[in-house]
């Protein structure tokens, strides 16, 4: 019997992934780059697939270690943590987990938007601190009524967010590089122009070089003093220092943030601000949705090594199975 293909499982512990791969593969689990150094050469030489179980940096130097590498199955729909350019140039397929998290992330986004506008988190704290019997909680300066929402990124998740915002009876426009097929909301090729016309902005683009700090001081200024910024994309899409300044000096009203530039570290300045809602990157983080994402990581590898195409390759690596 031929040796089982070696699979490296790298990242946060994922029992579903380990169990799903155990039967068909020779599985090696590591949780840190240091453990990578300790893998015996015979193991390294037999690794044909990598399961990346979190947003763990998987760069060219890491991929180059494995001479027989065919596929990197990454957890999450965003894959800016994987060097997909290196993979594409070396015929290595990268897969991700689109669709299975779309509705969950859109739900979270709406929750974060309303919690930010209507101050749910500070109001909850108000009740717990026993302040209600003395005085009613203040009226929130923010409201979803009479707003216009500009969505930055109108892909799978952007559309799911738009459907929900539409149900709230609020007009929607969007920015992306190209108009999204089949979408009738007004498209702004220019982000600043959109920021001038809206008071509420939701970022849901990929991270990486093309979106780096695209939400900058100029965009926040254009959003204006009623402005609310919601980020469920990546921390890298916003200039965090500019955002902190804009929230402090009233350039914008408030922000709801699920993602940060240097996770899990969140700038201390945010901790004491009442006009921000801070989430620890949980947009997709329910048990049910995370299980579906884990299973899709497993299924991509199972399919690939049974001679089928990967189920959900990223756009940059549309390769089939090599003979
Ligand atoms: P899609 O690929 O379906 O959509 C991406 C959208 O972003 C497209 O409309 C695309 O349009 C637009 N876009 C890409 N690059 C740029 C750019 N440089 N400038 C402006 N717009 C751009 O992805 P999904 O909707 O499935 O996911 C989007 C992202 O959401 C993920 O990549 C991830 O970063 C983030 N995410 C965050 C989660 C969280 O836990 N907070 C959970 C899930 C996803 P065009 O190409 O025309 O520019």
Provide the residue-wise pLDDT of the chain in tens; the chain has 323 residues: 568 999 999 999 999 999 999 999 999 999 998 999 999 999 999 999 999 999 999 999 999 999 999 999 999 999 999 999 999 999 999 999 999 999 999 999 999 999 999 999 999 999 999 999 999 999 999 999 999 999 999 999 999 999 999 999 999 999 999 999 999 999 999 999 999 999 999 999 999 999 999 999 999 999 999 999 999 999 999 999 999 999 999 999 999 999 999 999 999 999 999 999 999 999 999 999 999 999 999 999 999 999 999 999 999 999 877 65
ipTM value for the complex: 0.99
Is-catalytic flag, 156?
no
Is-catalytic flag, 37?
no
Q: Cis (ω within 30 of 0) for the bond into 264?
A: yes
| Residue-level pLDDT at 323 | 54
Q: Best mutation site among 55, 78, 154, 178 for ligand 1, i.e. most ligand atoms within 8 A of its Cβ?
A: 78
Q: Catalytic residue among 281, 290, 316, 322, which?
A: 281
DSSP labels, 3-36: PPPEEEEESS--HHHHHHHHTTSEEEEESSHHHH
| Cα torsion 314, 10, 83, 261: sign | positive
**207 C-alpha to ligand 1 centroid (Å):** 8
Distances (CA, A) of 196 to 64, 70, 193, 249, 250: 46, 46, 5, 18, 16
**314 C-alpha to ligand 1 centroid (Å):** 12
**Each residue of 64-103: b (16+ CB within 10 Å) or e?**
eebeebbbbbbbbbbbbbbbbebbbeeebbbbbbbebbbb
- Model confidence, pTM: 0.97
For ligand 1, residues with CB inside 6 Å are 77-78, 98, 101, 105, 153-158, 176-178, 180, 204-207, 210-211, 232-234, 258-259, 281, 283-284
Whole-angstrom Cα distance, residue 223 to residue 101?
29
132's tokens:
């209600």
Q: Best mutation site among 153, 162, 192 for ligand 1, i.e. most ligand atoms within 8 A of its Cβ?
A: 153
**205 C-alpha to ligand 1 centroid (Å):** 3
| Residue-level pLDDT at 17 | 98
Q: Which of 171, 177, 178 shows the shortest CA–CA distance to 198? A: 171
């Amino acid at each position: 019997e031929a040796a089982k293909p070696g699979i490296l499982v790298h990242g946060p512990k994922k029992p579903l992934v380990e169990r799903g791969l155990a039967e068909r593969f020779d599985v090696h689990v590591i949780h840190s780059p240091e453990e990578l150094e300790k893998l015996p050469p015979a193991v390294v030489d037999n690794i044909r697939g990598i399961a990346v179980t979190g947003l763990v940096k998987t760069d060219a130097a890491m991929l180059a270690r494995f001479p027989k590498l065919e596929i990197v199955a990454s957890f999450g729909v965003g894959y800016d943590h994987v060097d997909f350019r290196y993979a594409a140039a070396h015929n290595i397929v990268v897969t991700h987990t689109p669709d299975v998290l779309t509705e969950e992330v859109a739900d979270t986004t709406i929750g974060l938007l309303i919690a930010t506008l209507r101050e749910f988190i500070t109001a909850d704290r108000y009740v717990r601190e026993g302040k209600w019997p003395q005085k009613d909680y203040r009226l929130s300066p923010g409201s979803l009524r009479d707003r216009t929402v500009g969505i930055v990124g109108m892909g799978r998740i952007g559309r799911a967010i738009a459907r929900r915002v539409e149900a709230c009876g609020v007009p929607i426009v969007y920015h992306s590089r190209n108009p999204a097929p089949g979408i009738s909301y007004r498209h702004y090729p220019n982000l600043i122009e959109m920021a001038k016309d809206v008071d509420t902005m939701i970022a849901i683009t990929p991270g990486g070089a093309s979106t780096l700090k695209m939400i900058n001081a100029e965009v926040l200024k254009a959003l204006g003093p009623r402005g609310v910024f919601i980020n469920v994309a990546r921390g890298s899409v916003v200039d965090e220092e500019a955002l902190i300044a804009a929230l402090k000096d009233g350039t914008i009203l408030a922000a709801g943030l699920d993602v940060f530039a240097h996770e899990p570290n969140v700038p201390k300045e945010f901790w004491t601000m009442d006009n921000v809602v801070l989430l620890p990157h949980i947009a997709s983080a329910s048990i049910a949705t995370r299980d579906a994402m884990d299973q899709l990581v497993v299924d991509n590898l199972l399919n690939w090594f049974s001679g089928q195409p990967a189920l959900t390759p990223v756009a940059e690596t549309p390769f089939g199975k090599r003979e």
